[in-house]
Structure 1
Amino acid sequence: MPDNQPFAIPANPAALFALDGHAVLALDGPDALAFAQAQFANDVTALAIGQWQWSAWLTPKGRVMAVFALLRTGEASLRLLLADADPVELGDTLRRFVFRRKLAIAARPDLHASGDFAAPTRAQGATLAGHEDTELELDYGAPELPRTLRLSTAATPRDAAAAAAWDGADLRLGLPRLPAAQREQWTPQQLGLERLRAFSVKKGCYPGQEIVARTHFLGRAKREALLLQVDASVEPGAAVSQAGQAIGSVACTAGHGPRLALAVLPLERTAEPLHIDGAIAVVVPFVDGLAR
């Protein structure tokens, strides 16, 4: 494995640093839970007030458009914590499916996300701590890689090195960070979202549910997500080759110079070395424990 690890946590990161790419989309109203249950891939009815889960929004063909943390903050209140999607754009798209349901969908630019490479002081697992009017605390890590994410109306300082390490930690923990060009390309199974328990194969209908369930119950998944480390700069969409033949592609990356790459590759492949843009790509293990 290359010595220069792109996922290394800075020696002295700020105690709290801004996660500028993160944003919140709010669903409020008596039909908020029913709407989310019909649209999103996970079982929203399993969420108690004060809990959260990983979830995704899929196309009718079962391709992932967005991966997010779904927080239940009240009896009729849900929050989508987005790492890569524009909440205004996503909100506009979701409103097309509201029809006669009673709910309001709105971005919450007043809520700022910040990160901390330390275990939470109050939150634990899927249980939230605090209140969004002051500060919400989420357990966003694992025993081997502890992290705390906070949502607050107060902004926090920027720390570029710490924020880049956070992105790398996302990939290490199996959380895809999809750029726009990689949306609608992959099924939940291909991205390894079962690692996060981010979709349900037992609940009722939602966009893409039939394809997701068929893949699960009939065992037709032919590709999987692997975490690769590359001692070179690579970009999402780059081909992964083996023995001179392209066999898969990169869904997302993190790091500068040496990169971590989440790649989707065939389950059946040889033991030959993997390459991305001519550079050797080494398989590194995921860190378990981010499922919620």
Structure 2
Amino acid sequence: MSHKPRTAPAQEFRLPGHDVLAIGGRDAVAFAQAQFMNDVAALVDGGWHWNGWLTPKGRVIALFALLRQDAETLWLVLPDAGAGELATQLQRFVFRSKVRLQPRDDLHANGRFGAPALASGSTIAQADGAFELDLGADGGPRCLRIANAAAEADAALASRWRGFDLQHGLPRLRDAQLEAWTPQHLSLDRLRAYSVKKGCYPGQEIVARTHFLGQVKRGLALFHAGAPLPEGRAISADGRDIGSVACVEEDLALAVMPLDAPAAGLVAAGIDLLPAPLLGGLAR
């Protein structure tokens, strides 16, 4: 008998604030293609990517993982937006399309800091009665599981999960930060979360013009702060406001900054900020 210690399986925990919205029906893909900023028609069955919904002025209303189950079934995994509220907003654009918008209150998002059993990259998989997504990146493996039962809450692990998102440039937008930023402001090209070639969608003209005319002046930057910062707080250099905090988790702050911003001498709410590199590997 071997006496080598076994590696304990990573603990599964509830992901607070995550909702699932199902879009079903004959026109589900066509509807999503016309509304969302990434190329839904390019997804294969069993695939997923980052996507979002914009205002006509190109500002991000919601950012989510979009899963294609089959030709008539899409799931939106929403880290911060409520499924019911988003369904109500989207319903205004259904018109005569054969589409059903259904908040899936029966489904729960659970996380684990460990590799998925079967899912890999942008391919979803079913394992142990749940749908798995591979949300690992350069910072290590992660698995998001969509299941009928919610795991136990764990505030420390949930905070670590959110911090991982911020470190990899996945904005977690709440409250006043909704409808405040364009995809370029949030550097969502790093996640391959939007398309400038797929055709019309709300905000597409703004996004495409900014891209093709080379007018991107601001993007995401990550900072360590000596204390938690309020979201929306201005970041200043030499007494001049140059950026804004978009989302925070403990001492981490993800901010929208000029691309040519100085690397030193940055302050927010009287707290010195230490720049940190954004990690990669979360694009899908």
Question: Which bin holds the TM-score, normalised by the shorter protein?
Answer: over 0.9
Query: Distance in 2 between the 1:276 and 1:117 partners?
Result: 31
Q: In the alignment, which of 113, 117, 120 is matched to residue 116 of structure 2? A: 120
- DSSP 3-state at the match of 2:246: strand
Deviations for 1:152-196, whole angstroms, at most 9, x for unmatched residues?
A: 001211111000100100101111000021011100011010010
- Check conservation: 1:145, 1:287, Cα contact below 8 A: no
User: C-alpha displacement at 1:268, in angstroms?
Assistant: 2.7
User: C-alpha displacement at 1:74, in angstroms?
Assistant: 1.6
List runs of 5+ in structure 2 lacking aligned partners. Answer: 1-7
**Superposition CA RMSD, Å:** 1.5
Match of 1:216 in 2: 211
User: C-alpha displacement at 1:36, in angstroms?
Assistant: 0.2
Match of 1:161 in 2: 156
Q: Where in structure 2 are the equivalents of 1:123-202 lying within 5 Å? A: 123-130=119-126, 134-202=129-197
Q: In the alignment, which of 215, 220, 225 is matched to residue 220 of structure 2? A: 225
User: C-alpha displacement at 1:267, in angstroms?
Assistant: 1.8
- DSSP 3-state at the match of 1:265: strand
1:288 aligns with 2:283: no
- Equivalent residue letter for 2:65: A
Identity %: 56
Match of 2:4 in 1: none
Match of 1:261 in 2: 253
- Check conservation: 1:59, 1:208, Cα contact below 8 A: yes
Match of 1:62 in 2: 58
Flag the 1:242–1:143 CA change in 2: closer, same or farther, 3 A: closer
Q: Where in structure 2 are the equivalents of 1:8-47 lying within 5 Å? A: 15-47=11-43
User: C-alpha displacement at 1:99, in angstroms?
Assistant: 0.4
TM-score (structure 1 length as normaliser): 0.92
Query: Distance in 2 between the 1:68 and 1:118 partners?
Result: 21
- Equivalent residue letter for 1:86: G
- Check conservation: 2:10, 2:114, Cα contact below 8 A: no
Match of 2:92 in 1: 96
Match of 1:240 in 2: 235
Query: Distance in 2 between the 1:17 and 1:175 partners?
Result: 20
Flag the 1:240–1:143 CA change in 2: closer, same or farther, 3 A: closer
User: C-alpha displacement at 1:38, in angstroms?
Assistant: 0.2
- Check conservation: 1:14, 1:159, Cα contact below 8 A: no
Flag the 1:100–1:250 CA change in 2: closer, same or farther, 3 A: same
- Equivalent residue letter for 1:117: F
Query: Distance in 2 between the 1:155 and 1:170 partners?
Result: 21
Query: Distance in 1 between the 2:42 and 2:120 partners?
Result: 17
Query: Distance in 1 between the 2:168 and 2:9 partners?
Result: 19
- DSSP 3-state at the match of 2:34: helix
Aligned residues, how many?
A: 277
- Equivalent residue letter for 1:279: I
Query: Distance in 2 between the 1:176 and 1:15 partners?
Result: 24
List runs of 5+ in structure 1 lacking aligned partners. Answer: 1-11
Q: Which runs of 4+ in 1 moved over 6 A?
A: none
- DSSP 3-state at the match of 1:150: strand
- Check conservation: 2:38, 2:50, Cα contact below 8 A: yes
TM-score (structure 2 length as normaliser): 0.95
Match of 1:277 in 2: 269
